[in-house]
């Protein structure tokens, strides 16, 4: 077999594999956070905690969260009706599907979801969540 051909073919195969993997990673990140961030979501939600990608919870969880903002995990996060509607529609449109989000986590908390707990399995010391740089699991990004 011609070594020049083999080298060219090998390089082409490696390049195609790299492009395929990069495309898959890009596609996965696109599903994580919508390309267009809703300014109201950024302003209202990310002012207190990490602006979680809507795909991390199913639509039913987002609906319950947005309908209970006056008691949002121990805080009154009430908003005017128009802003609630705007954020709710955006969250519903970008919510996780049951193909990617397999559960409605306890109390609709992302920090209690199987994904979050698996990702943070190595955090054994509860004091980590109290560090000034972390503050709580909700700020872990």
Mean pLDDT of the chain: 77
User: What per-residue confidence (pLDDT) applies to 100?
Assistant: 63
- Buried-exposed string 48-64: b where 16+ CB fall within 10 A, e elsewhere: ebebbbbbbbbbebbbe
Question: Is residue 26 scored above 70 in pLDDT?
Answer: no
**Model confidence at 24, in pLDDT bands (50, 70, 90)?**
very low
Reference 88, options 112, 57, 110; nearest CA is 57
Which pTM does this prediction carry? 0.66
Residue 114: pLDDT band by 50, 70, 90 thresholds? confident
Q: Provide the pLDDT for residue 109.
A: 84
Which range (2-16, 25-39, 47-61, 123-137) has the least confidence? 2-16
| Domain residue ranges of the chain, discontinuous segments joined by + | 1-32, 33-139
Residues contacting 119, CB < 8 A, separation 6+: none
């Amino acid at each position: 077999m011609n070594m020049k051909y083999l080298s060219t073919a090998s390089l082409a195969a490696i390049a195609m594999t790299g492009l395929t993997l990069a495309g898959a990673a890009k596609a996965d990140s696109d599903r994580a956070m919508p390309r267009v961030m809703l300014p109201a979501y950024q302003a209202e939600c990310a002012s207190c905690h990490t602006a979680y990608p809507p795909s991390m919870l199913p639509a039913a969880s987002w609906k319950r969260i947005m309908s209970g903002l006056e008691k949002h995990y121990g805080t009154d996060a009430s908003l005017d009706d128009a802003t609630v509607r705007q954020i709710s529609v955006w969250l519903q449109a970008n919510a996780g599907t049951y193909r990617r989000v397999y559960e409605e986590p306890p109390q609709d908390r992302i920090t209690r979801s199987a994904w979050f707990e698996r990702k943070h399995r190595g955090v054994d010391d509860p004091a980590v969540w109290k560090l000034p740089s972390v503050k709580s699991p909700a700020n872990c990004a």
